[in-house]
Chain A
Amino acid sequence: MELKKTPLFECCEKSGGRFVDFHGWYLPVQFEGIIVEHLHVRSHAGIFDCSHMGEFLIHGRDKISYFSFLTCGDFMPLPVGKCRYTAILNKDGSVLDDCVGMKLDEETLFVVTNAGPLEEVSSLLCPSDVQAEDITQQIVKIDVQGPRSLDVLLQAGFDSQIAGLKYWTGGRFEWRGEKIIITRAGYTGELGYELYLPVSIGADIWVKLVSHAEVKPCGLGARDTLRTEMGYPLNGQDILPGTTPLMASMDRFIDWEHDFIGKDLLLQQKNRSDYRVLTGIKTHTRQAPRHNQKIVFQDSEVGEVTSGTYGPSVGVGVGLAMLDKKVAIPGTFLQIAGRPLQVEVCNVPIYQNGTTRKKVL
């Protein structure tokens, strides 16, 4: 199958991207280098082409209500302009995809999903009672991330009102007469903004941002190390078919008060507490845990590494692991099977100095 290219493919190629296959998309894994890009996002600002992700609009309160029935979070009481992280569930309560929803107004919910299960999500949401409008093809998504991201956007000419956005909020804005959506959100642990732009202006904005002295283009590699240091899960890697929101450590994103698909099964699981949970791990050297490695405690297998890499901002190996609940306790030391490597169970975020919640006004 031929790999899909985003509308920013030529831009990324000109910026020096090295491309890989990511869920059927031809996307840049790095430009200058993963560590350079990672550290630049932590200290200045980086831009990411995230146009492979899915975007949907859900129109009307009854449809938003029905969508809420398919997710572990309840969007009905969500105030306009506020974002909510949740999971779209299968009938058995397992996660089909994790996503973010934001009400653009009382009657319109904007939902952002991942590239991996996009077709499944689209066929679940669009022809069903939710009657969602799939606008993925009409949108270029650029994430601008880093402590300098707000200044970069203001200097590039974005609406000064964005300075008023608090963490995890967003709304409709304009760029030279074109309607755009901006949220103050991200996947890096730094102050950052996600721009949802009509395809017609995407490339111009990429070029404008990338020419800013404090901005570096960044690839999937840095996106992965940044999110792993924060303990943010990646669907398709940390969250696999059969993983429930409880296993994904999404407890605080479950609204038990509302009725949703698979709720009874999740309640049963909650009461059993014999399941594995997604947990932060770190090493005490530069050696990293790696995806798919088995984890052992007192000679018995207690889990598996789902994400692992060197964490450039913490200087040690960092990762996420699916662990038996009994060992998923911060401070516990576990062994990587067949390797001379110990990992310590730890709280997330592993990197603690992120600017994501920074007050900007």
Chain B
Amino acid sequence: MDLRRHPLPLRPSPPALMGRVHGGGGAPGVPMGPAIGACLPGGRLPLGVLHALEPAPGAEVQHGAVVAGFAARVLARIAGTWLWVAAKGDLHAPGLVACGLDPARLVLAAARDDAAVLAAMETALRGGAFAAVVGEAGRLSRLAARRLQLACLRHGCTGLLLHRWPYGRPAQTKVAQAEEASSRGQSGEQSSAVTRWRIGAVASGDIFAPPRWRLELLHARGGVPGEWIVEAGERDAPDLVCVVAELADPAAAPQRRRLG
């Protein structure tokens, strides 16, 4: 192939991305509500691209349950069959039902390590048969992220990358390492994933209420970053999350930062 005449679309240009979101052969995105939608290109979480989800510092970086909950709720709003690749097999399928996801449409895959997870993700994305592919991996090279994003764009498949650090060794040092890595901001894949989120749990005060998260949009191509306290949407609600309105404390209230 003559690369000069057919340049590889390594990175979707914003107009192309907007075209994907607003029709013109693209799939609709996942609605996130008006407040968050204002920060996203096209007002929704776009499909057919790569998203990176990372946990907020704390114990969360090890078990990654909140990030998995967010990903499961995204999957539940995408039609088709999904694949979930992880090196650690602690995902509990009955727990997905509470997120509104039908485990019958989910295929699970176990990989040896992070590299195998990424390779399997790419294989699945290139196959074009899955509507969405979720992968749990600790670190991601710039090249691997590029390849994943390219595979997503080529085959119209949504990729969700869950950052997660292994545990089993002394917890203190691992957590410290993970926090450090998390605070560094993972600038490596900033340019590849279309959106990058950091999600942490926030106390809701009521165990029967939907879980409450601090949702940070660290990076959105064609959008602007933002930070909100949200509550997971109900199972049949159209929106993935709803912003909690009654935050009285101005220090804890979501702050919109215009960095774009």
**Are A and B part of the same complex?**
no
